Amino acid sequence: MIPLFEKYNLYISFSGSVTRPNARKVVKSLEAVSKERLLIETDAPDIYPSLLSPGENKLNEPKNLPAIAKIAAKRLGIGFEEFVNHAYNNSLNIFNPILP
């Protein structure tokens, strides 16, 4: 469905589910999304990412975005900074027109 979504200029966002070791379908989707349509999110408070040291709080929150981005970038085989630059610039494309 990713090509169809992109055909209609939609963005595709990934949350903590992309960090799960057996998330084959999610990773396949991540790989199919063009860099110009890629976003990340926490889906807070749900879908806590699979982290090596998850801490005590099992509710997802914005502070987990860097960990989600790091794992997603690794799964794509690109650098963290490149990944977050794409996600950040895409978020600006969406929200700049509606922000004061």
Residues 64-91 have pLDDT tens digits of: 899 999 999 999 999 999 999 999 999 9
Q: Predicted confidence band at 37 (pLDDT cuts at 50, 70, 90)?
A: very high
How many angstroms separate the CA atoms of 85 and 12, rounded? 15
State the pTM of this model.
0.86
Question: Would you kindly state where each structural domain of the chain is located, as residue ranges?
Answer: 2-98
Cβ-count burial of 73 within 10 angstroms (0-12 exposed, 13-18 middle, 19+ buried)?
buried
Residue 47 backbone dihedrals phi, psi, to 5 degrees: 50, 65
Q: How many Cα atoms occupy the beta-carbon half-sphere of 26 within 13 Å?
A: 18
> Would you say domain 2-98 falls under CATH 3.20.20.140?
yes
pLDDT at position 44 is: 81
- DSSP bridge partners of 43: none
